[in-house]
Chains A and B, each alone.
Chain A
Amino acid sequence: DARVTQTPRHKVTEMGQEVTMRCQPILGHNTVFWYRQTMMQGLELLAYFRNRAPLDDSGMPKDRFSAEMPDATLATLKIQPSEPRDSAVYFCASGFKPLTGFGEKLFFGSGTQLSVL
């Protein structure tokens, strides 16, 4: 079965360190989402790409977070410098959205559990 692959599954780091999370979307999908999930906030949308172009990253703290899609098979989310409040599960999801039509169905990766000490 096709699936979204995220690495690493778990990351423990110290405050101030750079964290890079990677996502391989499902082949043929043209949209990629990054979400962050905590007990308090639920799933928060951080960034959205369509055809590799960033369309919305308004949910992302710009001073320390950055999201890119260097090619169609790789999306990255970086935090620099990381802070304890960044501890959460980070999910990547991909979908296919045609030029016209409604929102796409999303397929999620298994997530990266990030702990910043």
Chain B
Amino acid sequence: RKEVEQDPGPFNVPEGATVAFNCTYSNSASQSFFWYRQDCRKEPKLLMSVYSSGNEDGRFTAQLNRASQYISLLIRDSKLSDSATYLCVVSITGGFKTIFGAGTRLFVKA
């Protein structure tokens, strides 16, 4: 079983739609959680950190459920520019390992 698992998609949604991505992690010692975004043929870039209480950044909302070892990302009012691969990232206790999920591809169409 992979340490971080994501639905690979692709998710095809119209502009303006709300879309949610899920991610599960296997190591209960995981302490820090992030979502990164990767555009085609580019490097991953930090989208947002994920805090225990949940957090929001504009149209993006991240949630963490430690009991279920589950992270989510919600995108509201999707834009064409949101088309990318979204990577769930987990850092193990002590920060010695930062593990990336395989990513979920999102296509937003006009």
Contacts and interface: CB of A to CB of B under 8 A. Distances in A.
Interface string A34-57: 010000011101001000000110
B16 interface: no
Interface range for A: 20 to 34
Interface in B8-32: 31-32
Contacts of A104: 91, 95, 98
A41 B99 CA distance: 12
A109 B42 CA distance: 9
Contacts of B31: 102-103
B49 A105 contact: yes
Residue of B42, B43, B49, B92 with highest tally of chain A CB at under 10 A = B43
Interface in A96-115: 97, 101-111
A1 to B, nearest CB: 12
A43 B87 contact: yes
A108 B39 CA distance: 13
B107 interface: no
5 A-B pairs with least C-beta separation: A103-B91, A103-B32, A42-B102, A108-B43, A102-B32
Given A41-B102, A97-B95, A103-B34, 12 more contacts: A42-B101, A43-B100, A43-B102, A45-B98, A45-B100, A48-B98, A56-B97, A91-B44, A102-B31, A103-B32, A104-B91, A104-B95
Interface of A: 31, 33, 35, 41-43, 45, 48, 55-56, 91, 97, 101-111
